[in-house]
Structures are given as structure tokens and as C-alpha cells.
Chain A
Amino acid sequence: MSDTHAESVAYVRDTMLPETPPPAAETGVTKWMKQNLFATIPNSVLTVAAIVVIYFLLAATLPWILNGIWNATSIRECREILEGATGGCFAVLSDRWNQLLFGFKYPSTEYWRPALAFLLLFVAAAPVMFFKYLPRQLLLFTGVYPFLAFWLIWGGSIVPPLLLLLGFVAAYVAFKALEKRGFGVAALGGLGVLIVAIILAGSIGKIEVLRLEQVQSRDMGGFMLNMILGTVCVSLSIPIGIALALGRQSDMPIIKWICVVFIEFIRGVPLITLLFVANVVLAYFLPPGTTFDLIIRVIIMITAFASAYIAEVIRGGLAALPRGQYEAGDSLGLDYAQAMRLIILPQALKISIPGIVNVAVGLFKDTTLVSVISMFDLVGMIRGPILASTDWNGVYWELFGFAALLFFVVCYGVSQYSQWLERELNTDHR
């Protein structure tokens, strides 16, 4: 058979053809461009349109950035140096750098303190953010961080924050000791110990140990104020949000309705009206003779605002858990507190983390609204003292561009993290 076959084939190539490079249109840059930029006619039109847009954007901004002045003491000097040419007056950034970051009243010798607190924030946040990759012991530092940051930023004696920290530790120990006797008793016990510690901290806090120069809350300003408001309010609002979400899911009608009304009310009004409340109304609801600092009132309102949104995210997480998880908890004989703490919440929170991060980013951006109620955050510094000064009257683009850039860097970073986390968490389910 093979013979006949051999005869029927006239020619068999016994050597391979030499490899030739692919046609020019099917390789390298050309192919890539053909596929990605000029695949079809409408596609090409889009590409050209995109190039035009990019050209105009660059033509408008590049000369302005490249020709910028970084060394001058006032806008008049900038104008003299530029002599009518296009160029930014970025000197305002170098001149008012510290004010933009720290506000104008933070003592200039103490700038290292908020800067250090800011750096440590990364160290403290890392074990939470990358919980899979870092040893859990690092979480201890996360626990210590709020007290450390408080001491660094506000200053004063180290005793009150230290006592508070010890109070929390003692409360936790008390909680653990009483846990056998039921969650409610343990929680009450822990709370009692905590309150004792707070009163102690308030009364013997005058002892001067490791004293840093004290800075009043109202002296905070600039980007530091945005960071403080953002981190403090988000961290405070997570536990409150969890409580609200659980309350909203509760079987107890009164508690459920309290939570529903609170959440829907807060979500129904713009943050700015809540800030008006903090600024012009809240004072009337406090006992005569007490006046909170504006920053504390604002923290209260923003925290309430964030809690309502976080509660909704967590409610989504709770709802996404299969019914079987709740039933499994019941069938093991766990009571409500145990089931929530050991089974439901760990899973629900894990699902909710990306949502919480999104709320946090949104909230951080919204902290700029405090500029409307005469607080000197980054935007407030720009719109108030800096633009009002005779030296820098009229430097809009540079300042707002800088503010936009600063927020972009932080928010983009956090949202990239959130997307990474989402992918990370997703692998478990597929």
C-alpha cells in the first residue's frame, strides 16, 4: 500500500521552508496600531478624535506647567518674571507649603509630629490592609496607633492617652474573664472598666510625663485636617455602622425602626446640611454653658453620616450570606451574640470590605465640604487665607490643581487597593 501511495505523490518536501518574518502589517507596532487604533473606520475616527482631545489638553496645560515659576514671594513678582508669557505661579505652593499641609496655626516647630503620625498611619494600616501577608502580631501596633497619633498630633502629656489605652486593655481582659457568663454581662463589665479608666484619665491626666506642646483642635488645618477628619470618622463609623446594620436586621421592631429612621434620615440629606447643623444648630441642643469645639461637632456629624452609609454596605453583606449560615449558627446552639461574632459578622464583613473602602474614599473627598462652614481644611485654606492675602490674590489654578492632585493621589491609591482586595477576596468563591 505504501508503495502505491508513494507513487501517487509526485513530490514530497523533505526540508522545511526557512522561517520568514511576518508581513510588515501583521507585526509589531503596525499590527498593534491596526488592531487597537484603526480596526474599523468608526474606530479610526474615534482615535483621531481622542488624539485631538489629548492635543488640546496638553497644549493648554504643558506650557503652563513647564514654564511655571517656583521661586517668588508674591504673584506680582511672578508676573514680573513671566513678563506676560504663559506660565503657572507655583511659587505659591513653595511659599505656603506648610500652610497647605498643616493649616496656619499649627506651631511650625512641631510639624514633625503630624508628619510622623501620617507615616505611622501606613504602618498601622498595613496589617489590616494586607492581613493575609503580614503577621497578626502587627495588629497590636494598629491597636496602639490611635492613642499614639492622638498624643502626637494634639500633644500634651502622654498620661491620658496611655491611661485610655490601658483602660481598653483592661476592659478587654474584663470582657474575656466574664465571657463565660454571657455576652451581655461581659460587655457591661468591659464597659464599666472602660468608664472607670476614662474618669481616671480625666482626673489624673494632669501628670506631666513626656509632655509635647499642646495644640488646640481648632488650630488643625490644611490637608492634615482632611486626613484627621477622614481617618477618625471612618474608624469611628465602622463599629457604629455594624451596630446599625445589625439593628436594622433585628427582630425587635422598636430597635429596628430606630435604626431604619436614623439611616434613612441621614442618607436622605446632603452632608452640607448636616454640617450646617453642626455649625449653627447643634449648639442650641447642648446644655447651656458647654460649647464643643467646631471640629468635635463636625466629627460627630460626619461620623453619623458615614455610619449610615457603612451600615447599608454591611446590611448588603449580611443579606448576601446564605440563609444556611444563620441556621447553622442556631443549630449549634449559639446565642445571638455568639452566632453574630463567630459566624455571621466575619463573613459579612469580608464581603463588605470593598464597599466600606468605597464609602471611606467618598467620605474623605467629602471632608472638603467643611470649608463651606469656615473651617480651614485644604480647600478652606485656599479659598480663605491664601487667596485673601495680598501676596497671592488671584492664583487659582495652581492652588486648586494642587488640591486636586493631592486628593487624586490618596483616593486613587486607596481605590486601587480596593480593587486589588476585591480580586484577592474573589478567588475564594470561584
Chain B
Amino acid sequence: MTTLTDPPQESFRPSMLLNDTRYRSYTFQFIALIVLISIIAYLGYNLVLNLRAAGLNISYEFLGEPAGYDINQTLVEYTSRSSHLTAAIVGILNTLLVAFLACATATIFGVIAGVLRLSNNWLVRKLMAGYVEAFRNVPVLIWIIIIFTIMTAVLPAPRAFRGEDADASMILGSIAFTNRGVYVPMPIWGPGSMVVVVTFILSIVGVFAYRAYAKKLLFDTGKLLPMGWPSLAILFVPSILMFFIMGQPISLDYPELGGFNFSGGLQIGAPLIALWFALSIYTGAFIAENVRAGILAVSKGQTEAAASLGLRPRRIMNLVILPQALRVIIPPLISQYLNITKNSSLAIAVGYADITATLGGITLNQTGRAIECVLLLMLFYLLISLGISAVMNVYNNAVRLKER
């Protein structure tokens, strides 16, 4: 049919740009491009006009100037004489820290709540449903504020630890829960402690080696080696031995009540804990729903098939249900991680020094460089998101069902 009615070669007419489907798409794209460019040019032109009218300019020189403010939680060296750039880096690390911690705990909360929502215990099921609904349906900002307020009001102030007849006491004499944060003993790494650490790392490698060997033996000869106790022994015994051989190089620095605060030990600040807890419990509710949906998505036939093969319930869960459920759970899980990272920008409400509070907060206030600060801020979050999305794509490709 096509061979018979080959269209006559028409000469090109301008109207074909609109009517001929071969050319129309070029017309549209051309128009879109022009519109885009003119919008950008218009905005840029306005920006230049406005900046000139206000006598301002765009410059990133302020990043090199001393910040002049202090930050309560710094993972790198920072004083008030450090530059705004250092303050921004401190903020970035703090954002990453709280995001990482919250991702870990949110997963734990979510998995527990998701599994318990499918429990055959009526009360637990209802309680977990209550938890999930309460957190999913109330804005995260309100939860962050409420949890921060609860923490400050319920936990004792350091001065409650003072005196003979104190209202509060430290747990095991070494851990103090206060409304300024949790104080825990901090290890002091003496000379020779590296040997112990290296031994411990080698032990971890040893455990994996042992497990691989046991698996190989099982497949080759059918002999089943014990797993639990030998693993534990390999993990701890060499390190403990080495610890005493080297003359106990690692000691603990216990927190003590000083003038106003506890001194010594490691302080995990209240803002960090409040934000961490609020983000994990909030996102945990969403993850619980993902986990539940993932488990429900595995059809009942799979369980029955596995049971008819003679697998025990735990093995059914581990070998049949979970691998299939994970395929459903992981993609939304990763986008929840993305949400945690983005929601951590609400740190501003609890006084946690994340990137939004340093670069987008105090630095912006002090320097008045709104455009520059907000641009850098967006760039940072964009990079993080794109990074996480890239990981997600790699994973999706890896676990995609190989269909034929």
C-alpha cells in the first residue's frame, strides 16, 4: 500500500511548520525554547535592574570573611573567627549527621511498626494504627515543636542533679539525661589503642571469613557448623585479649557536673536529639505503611508454596517473603530518606545548627546576602537529592525482575 501511494515530493511551504506533523514538533520546540530564553532573560534583566537600583552586587566574597558567631555542635574545627564558608561546612555536616541518624532509626521504627500492624494481637495492631495515623496526619513542623517542648519540659535540667538530695541522678553513674542533651562517657584513646582497634576490625573480617567457610562446607559436604557462638567468640575474644596485653590503653571519660553544665564525656545536644527523634518517629510512620504494603504485596500463595516445600516459618520469612517484599519496600523507602534529608531543614525550629540555620539563617541575617545564600542552600540540597536518586536508580536496575 505504501509503495503504491508514495506522496509526491512537495516543496516546503511555511504553513507546513504548523500543519505538517513532521515539522510541527520543531515549531513547538523552537517556540518553547524562545519562550524559555526570553523568560530567563527577562528575569535576569530585572535582577540586574533591581540590583543596580539598590546599589548591590552578587558576590561570594562574604564566604571568606569571619562568621563571628558560635555554633553549639561542630564536627570540624570551628570558632567564631572562622569563615562563613567553614560555618556552612559545619552546617552541611550537621545536616548529614542528623539525616543519617534519623534514616537509621526511622527504618527501625518503621519496620517494627509495619510488622506489628500485621500482628494478630488486636491491641498492638490498634496501637500501631493509632501511631501511624497520628503521625502521618499532623504536620512535621508541629511534631518537631511538640517533641522539643516535651523534651525540655519532661527531662530534668542539669541543676536537678546538684546537691546531696538531688531530684535526678545519673544512670549507672555515667549517663545523664538532661534537657540540654544526653551526656555519655567518652572513650579516651591512649597510646597503643590503635592496635586494639585494628584487632577488632580484623575480627570483623574474620567473622565474615568464618561464615563464608561454613557456607562452603555446608554446600560441599552438607556438614552444618555452629554459627552463633563461634562468631561471637571471633568477634570479641581477640580484641579483649589485646586490650589487656596492651595495658588497657582505652579509658572512659565520665561526664561530671561542673559549674553550669556537665563537663567531660560526650554531649549529644538536645536540639539534635529532638530533631533526630521527631524526624525518625514521623518518617517511621510513613515507612511502616510502606513495609506493611510490601509484605501484603507478596501473595499468600508464596507463603503456602514455601510451607509446602517444608520450610519453617522463620525461613519462609527470610528466604521467600522478605526478598520479594524488599523489592516493593526499597524504592519508597529511599524516597522517605530523601524526605528526611529535606525535612531536616526544619532544624531552624529547635535551634539545631544545620545548613539552613547557619548558611540560610545566621549568615544570611548577618551579611544580608539573600540571593547568594539561598542559591547555595538550594544547590546543596539538590546535590544531595540527585545523589540519593542516583543510588535509587542503580538499586532499581539491580533488583528489577528479569522478565523474558
Interface residues of A (CB under 8 A from B): 32, 35-37, 39, 43, 46-47, 50-51, 53-54, 184, 251-255, 258, 264-265, 267-273, 276-277, 280-281, 283-288, 335, 361, 365-366, 368-369, 371-372, 379, 383, 396-397, 400-401, 403-404, 407-408, 411-412, 415
A36 with B139: CB separation less than 8 A: no
Residues of the B chain whose Cβ atoms lie less than 8 Å from the Cβ of A271: 342
B342 with A269: CB separation less than 8 A: yes
Residues of the B chain whose Cβ atoms lie less than 8 Å from the Cβ of A283: 50
Given A37-B121, A39-B121, A407 and B370 contact (CB-CB distance below 8 Å): no
Size of B's binding interface in residues, CB under 8 A: 56
26 residue pairs from A and B, CB less than 8 Å apart: A47-B121, A47-B123, A50-B121, A50-B123, A50-B124, A50-B127, A53-B127, A254-B29, A254-B33, A255-B28, A265-B382, A269-B385, A270-B343, A270-B381, A271-B342, A272-B346, A276-B370, A281-B374, A284-B50, A286-B46, A366-B139, A372-B346, A379-B139, A400-B146, A401-B146, A415-B136
Residues of the B chain whose Cβ atoms lie less than 8 Å from the Cβ of A407: 137-139, 142
Given A53-B127, A284-B51, A412 and B133 contact (CB-CB distance below 8 Å): yes
Complex Cα spacing A276 to B364, Å: 11
Question: Which of A270, A281, A408 is close to B370, meaning CB atoms less than 8 Å apart?
Answer: A281
Interface residues of B in 138-164 (CB under 8 A from A): 138-143, 145-146, 149
Question: With A43-B121, A267-B385 given, can you name 19 additional A-B contacts, CB distance below 8 Å?
Answer: A37-B123, A46-B119, A46-B124, A258-B36, A264-B385, A269-B342, A269-B381, A270-B356, A273-B356, A277-B374, A285-B47, A361-B137, A365-B139, A379-B145, A401-B146, A404-B138, A407-B138, A411-B138, A412-B137
**Whole-angstrom distance between the Cβ of A269 and the nearest chain B Cβ:** 5
Complex Cα spacing A284 to B25, Å: 35
B120 with A43: CB separation less than 8 A: yes
Residues of the B chain whose Cβ atoms lie less than 8 Å from the Cβ of A408: 133-134, 137-138
Residue in A closest to B356 when the chains form the complex, CB atoms: A272
**Whole-angstrom distance between the Cβ of B318 and the nearest chain A Cβ:** 18
**Whole-angstrom distance between the Cβ of A268 and the nearest chain B Cβ:** 4
Residue in B closest to A397 when the chains form the complex, CB atoms: B149
Q: Report which residue of A54, A251, A408, A412 has the largest number of chain B beta carbons within 10 angstroms of its beta carbon.
A: A408
Given A273-B381, A404-B142, A252 and B28 contact (CB-CB distance below 8 Å): yes
Q: Does B49 contact A (CB under 8 A)?
A: yes
**Whole-angstrom distance between the Cβ of A190 and the nearest chain B Cβ:** 17
Give B8-48 as 1s and 0s: 1 = Cβ < 8 Å from A's Cβ atoms. Answer: 00000000001001000100110011001000000100110
Complex Cα spacing A276 to B377, Å: 10
Given A251-B25, A268-B386, A281-B371, A46 and B146 contact (CB-CB distance below 8 Å): no
Residues of the B chain whose Cβ atoms lie less than 8 Å from the Cβ of A368: 139, 141-142
Residue in B closest to A367 when the chains form the complex, CB atoms: B139
Residue in A closest to B387 when the chains form the complex, CB atoms: A268
**Whole-angstrom distance between the Cβ of B82 and the nearest chain A Cβ:** 24
Q: Report which residue of B18, B28, B374, B384 has the largest number of chain A beta carbons within 10 angstroms of its beta carbon.
A: B374
Complex Cα spacing A35 to B120, Å: 8
Question: Which of B32, B123, B142 is close to A255, meaning CB atoms less than 8 Å apart?
Answer: B32
**Whole-angstrom distance between the Cβ of A204 and the nearest chain B Cβ:** 29
**Whole-angstrom distance between the Cβ of B284 and the nearest chain A Cβ:** 15
Q: Does B398 contact A (CB under 8 A)?
A: no
Q: Does B349 contact A (CB under 8 A)?
A: yes
Given A281-B371, A408-B134, A273 and B29 contact (CB-CB distance below 8 Å): no
Residues of the B chain whose Cβ atoms lie less than 8 Å from the Cβ of A280: 364, 370, 374
Residue in B closest to A369 when the chains form the complex, CB atoms: B141
Tell me the number of A-to-B contacts counted with CB atoms below 8 Å: 157
Q: Does B378 contact A (CB under 8 A)?
A: yes
**Whole-angstrom distance between the Cβ of A348 and the nearest chain B Cβ:** 20
B120 with A268: CB separation less than 8 A: no
Residues of the A chain whose Cβ atoms lie less than 8 Å from the Cβ of B29: 252-255
Residues of the A chain whose Cβ atoms lie less than 8 Å from the Cβ of B43: 285
**Whole-angstrom distance between the Cβ of B296 and the nearest chain A Cβ:** 13
Complex Cα spacing A404 to B381, Å: 28
Residues of the A chain whose Cβ atoms lie less than 8 Å from the Cβ of B134: 408
Question: Which of B50, B145, B377 is close to A273, meaning CB atoms less than 8 Å apart?
Answer: B377
Residues of the A chain whose Cβ atoms lie less than 8 Å from the Cβ of B401: none
Complex Cα spacing A56 to B393, Å: 44
6 interchain residue pairs of minimum CB distance: A268-B385, A36-B122, A411-B137, A270-B342, A365-B139, A280-B370
**Whole-angstrom distance between the Cβ of A37 and the nearest chain B Cβ:** 6
B122 with A37: CB separation less than 8 A: yes
Residue in A closest to B370 when the chains form the complex, CB atoms: A280
Q: Report which residue of A37, A269, A379 has the largest number of chain B beta carbons within 10 angstroms of its beta carbon.
A: A269
A273 with B33: CB separation less than 8 A: no
Given A36-B122, A43-B120, A372 and B349 contact (CB-CB distance below 8 Å): yes
**Whole-angstrom distance between the Cβ of A376 and the nearest chain B Cβ:** 14
Residues of the B chain whose Cβ atoms lie less than 8 Å from the Cβ of A361: 137
Residue in A closest to B143 when the chains form the complex, CB atoms: A404
Interface residues of B in 305-363 (CB under 8 A from A): 342-343, 345-346, 348-349, 356, 360
Complex Cα spacing A271 to B143, Å: 17
B46 with A287: CB separation less than 8 A: yes
Complex Cα spacing A408 to B132, Å: 12
Residue in B closest to A265 when the chains form the complex, CB atoms: B382
Complex Cα spacing A50 to B360, Å: 42
**Whole-angstrom distance between the Cβ of B222 and the nearest chain A Cβ:** 33
Q: Does B394 contact A (CB under 8 A)?
A: no
Given A50-B123, A284-B371, A379 and B141 contact (CB-CB distance below 8 Å): yes
Complex Cα spacing A407 to B136, Å: 10
Residues of the A chain whose Cβ atoms lie less than 8 Å from the Cβ of B141: 368-369, 371-372, 379
Complex Cα spacing A47 to B124, Å: 6
Complex Cα spacing A413 to B141, Å: 20
Q: Does B53 contact A (CB under 8 A)?
A: yes
Complex Cα spacing A273 to B346, Å: 10
Residues of the B chain whose Cβ atoms lie less than 8 Å from the Cβ of A369: 141, 346
Q: Report which residue of B139, B146, B345 has the largest number of chain A beta carbons within 10 angstroms of its beta carbon.
A: B139
**Whole-angstrom distance between the Cβ of A280 and the nearest chain B Cβ:** 4
**Whole-angstrom distance between the Cβ of B121 and the nearest chain A Cβ:** 5
**Whole-angstrom distance between the Cβ of A133 and the nearest chain B Cβ:** 25
